[in-house]
Amino acid sequence: MKYVKILGLVATAAMALMAFLAAGTASATVLCREAKTSGCTNDYAAKQRIVATTEQQTTGILETTGGAILDTCVGSEIKGEIGEKGTGGASAAVSGPLDPIVVDEGGKETSGLEWGTCSRPTKTLKVGTFEVHHIAGTDNGTLTATGGIEVTINIIFGTCVFGTGEALDVGKITGGKPATINTEKAVIPKRSGSPVCPTHALWDAQFTVTTPGEAWVSAS
How would residue 7 be classed by pLDDT, with cut points 50, 70 and 90?
very low
d(CA 186, CA 34): 28
Range of the domain at 77: 27-219
Q: How many domains does the chain have?
A: 1
The verdict on residue 8 lying in a domain is no
Overall average pLDDT of the 158-177 stretch: 96
Mean pLDDT over each residue of the chain, to the nearest integer: 85
Overall average pLDDT of the 170-196 stretch: 95
Contact partners, residue 128, CB within 8 Å, separation at least 6: 97, 98, 145, 146, 147, 148, 149, 164
Overall average pLDDT of the 9-19 stretch: 39
The verdict on residue 89 lying in a domain is yes
Model pLDDT, residue 5 = 38
The verdict on residue 70 lying in a domain is yes
Whether 39 and 29 have beta carbons less than 8 Å apart is answered as no
The verdict on residue 9 lying in a domain is no
The verdict on residue 11 lying in a domain is no
d(CA 212, CA 49): 7
The verdict on residue 201 lying in a domain is yes
pTM of the complete model beyond 0.75: yes
How would residue 90 be classed by pLDDT, with cut points 50, 70 and 90?
low
Overall average pLDDT of the 80-88 stretch: 83
Kindly list the strands in the beta sheet with 60-63, ordered across the sheet, starting from the edge strand earlier in the chain. Answer: 117-118, 69-74, 60-63, 200-204, 186-193, 158-163, 150-155, 122-126
The verdict on residue 20 lying in a domain is no
The verdict on residue 174 lying in a domain is yes
Query: Which residues are 188's β-sheet partners?
Result: 201
* In the predicted structure, residue 65 carries a pLDDT above the cut 90: no
